[in-house]
Amino acid sequence: MNNLEKLKKAFNEALEIPLEIINDELSYGAENWDSVAHLALVASIETEFDIMLTSNDVIDMSSFKKAKEILEKYDIHF
Amino acid sequence: MIEGLKFRKAKKDDIDFIIEAIIESEKSSSDMISSCKIFNFSEQEFIDILKEILIQDIPDYDYYLSGFIIAELQSERIGTVGSWMEAANGTASGMVKATVLFQYLGAAKFKEINKNTKVIKGLTLNREPGTLQLEHGYTKEKFRRQGVFTNVIKQNIKENLLHHSFSKVQGILFNENYKSYKAHLKLGYKVVEEKKVEDPGIYKYFPYNSKVLMELSEENFHNF
């Protein structure tokens, strides 16, 4: 599984949304992505990529596109 | 209105009373504290977390200490309601709340949430950026039905109008919490969106299965 697929899996599991609708446009507030789901997403990404996100990462991760940009900082490339 | 009722902004000394308000607001006339069920906290753990968070006075979400207005009668705190401007700095209050909880508890606590979120997502309602949000309204039992709730809401709106520009006030509540729901209607709030979950699993996390986003327009609050 490549990094993009792993990230989509994390979103799919945390937000419980179909893989087909996960794209760069997906952002907080859409598809039931609320505060609780956001915490689930953070936990899911940390597990999937075996990293520890910072508070700044958590508040900045407002879209799928932003999630990819944040993960680049951890040498996770897409 | 009760004679001698005074209003002021909340201070750090008020934190215990505000926690009482947050917990009673979460219970919404039931015995269930939803946050404890969702995050698997005991009531005492929740109180301890709230104390740590409130003292930081972080703006832009519902645990913003300075957003609370306190109603006092002869120096006794008898009512309160919290407030914040939604997405004032471009970040939704839900994101701010998630980040604060993450900061205080770490991600490990949330690895279990995945199992819980499916059913509760059905009650998610989105707040509109640029609106004033009022939450955690509370009046001590023996002072209810005497206009304290109505007046503390009016005072909070007036206080916010001194510092912010907004044309709508919003709040999210369980419409089956009839006392609170009716009090909002009496003030002029209208229901703009409703979410209902039929899955009985919802009752593991919330006392009721439907929530409403209510809104008060400028024409209702400009003469408060």
Task: Count Cβ neighbours within 10 Å for each residue of B169-178 and write b for 16 or more, e otherwise.
Answer: bbbbbbbbbe
Q: Which residues of B touch A16 (CB under 8 A)?
A: 117-118, 121
> Which of B26, B121, B128, B135 to mutate against chain A (most A CBs within 10 Å)?
B121
**ipTM entry:** 0.89
Q: Which chain B residues are within 8 Å of A46, Cβ to Cβ?
A: 107
Q: Note whether B177 and B28 are within 8 A (CB).
A: yes
In chain A, the number of structural domains is 1
CB-CB: which of B111, B118, B126 is closest to A43? Answer: B111
Do residue A36 and residue B113 have CB atoms under 8 angstroms apart? yes
For the packed helices A3-15 and A64-72, what is the interaxial angle rounded to 10 degrees? 130
| Dist. CA B117–CA A8, nearest whole Å | 18
CB count within 10 Å of CB B29 equals: 13
Q: Which domains does chain B have, with CATH numbers?
A: 5-165 (3.40.630.30)
B98: closest CA of chain A, how far (Å): 5
* B211 Cα to chain A: minimum distance (Å): 14
**The predicted structure's pLDDT at residue B115:** 62
**Angstrom distance (rounded) from CA B91 to CA B134:** 17
Q: How far does the CA of residue A56 sit from the closest CA of chain B (Å)? A: 8
Amino acid B114: pLDDT: 58
Distance CA B10, CA B64 (A): 10
Task: Return the beta strands (E) in A1-78 as ranges.
Answer: none
A20 in any annotated domain: yes
Structure confidence at residue B109 (pLDDT)? 75
Q: Quick check: B102 and A34 CB within 8 A?
A: no
- Residues of A whose CB is below 8 A from B128: none
Domain contains A66: yes
- Closest partner CB to A40 (pick from B96, B97, B110): B110
Q: Does residue A46 belong to any structural domain of this protein?
A: yes
Provide the pLDDT for residue B107: 73
Q: Residue B24 in contact with residue B78, Cβ under 8 Å?
A: no
Q: Which residues constitute the domain of residue A7?
A: 3-72
DSSP string for A22-37: -STT-BTTSTT--HHH
B120 touches chain A (CB under 8 A): yes
Assigned domain for A62 exists: yes
Neighbours of B141 (CB within 10 A): 7
Compare CB distances from A58 to B38, B99, B118 and report the shortest one's residue: B99
- The CATH number of whichever domain residue A15 belongs to comes to 1.10.1200.10
Q: Do B99 and A46 touch (CB under 8 A)?
A: no
Average pLDDT over residues A42-69: 95
Nearest CA in chain B to A48: B111
Please name the residue that has the structure tokens 């955690």: B136
Task: Provide the phi-psi class of B72: left if phi over 0, else alpha when psi is between -120 and 50, else beta.
Answer: beta
pLDDT per residue, tens digit, chain B (224 aa), is: 788 999 999 999 999 999 999 999 999 999 999 999 988 889 999 999 999 999 999 999 999 999 999 999 999 999 999 999 999 999 999 999 999 999 888 777 777 665 666 788 889 899 999 999 999 999 999 999 999 999 999 999 999 999 999 999 999 999 999 999 999 999 999 999 999 999 999 999 999 999 999 999 999 998 78
Task: State which residue of chain B sits closest to A14, comparing Cα positions.
Answer: B114
- Determine contact, residues B43/B36, Cβ cutoff 8 Å: yes
DSSP B14: G
Provide the pLDDT for residue B104. 87
Work out the burial of residue B105: count CB atoms within 10 Å of its CB; fewer than 13 is exposed, 13-18 middle, 19 or more buried: middle
Entry pTM? 0.93
In 3D space, the residue among B128, B57, B60 whose CA is nearest the CA of residue B95 turns out to be B60
In a domain, A28, yes or no: yes
Note whether residue A78 is domain-resident. no
Nearest CA in chain A to B122: A32
CB pair distance less than 8 Å for B99 and A28: no
Q: Which residue in A29, A43, A58 is closest to B113 by CB distance? A: A43
Tell me, yes or no, whether A60 lies in a domain: yes
Does residue A77 lie in a domain region? no
The secondary structure of B115-128 as a DSSP string is HHHHHHGGG--PPP
> Residue B122's pLDDT is what?
86
Task: Give chain A's end-to-end CA distance (angstroms, integer).
Answer: 12
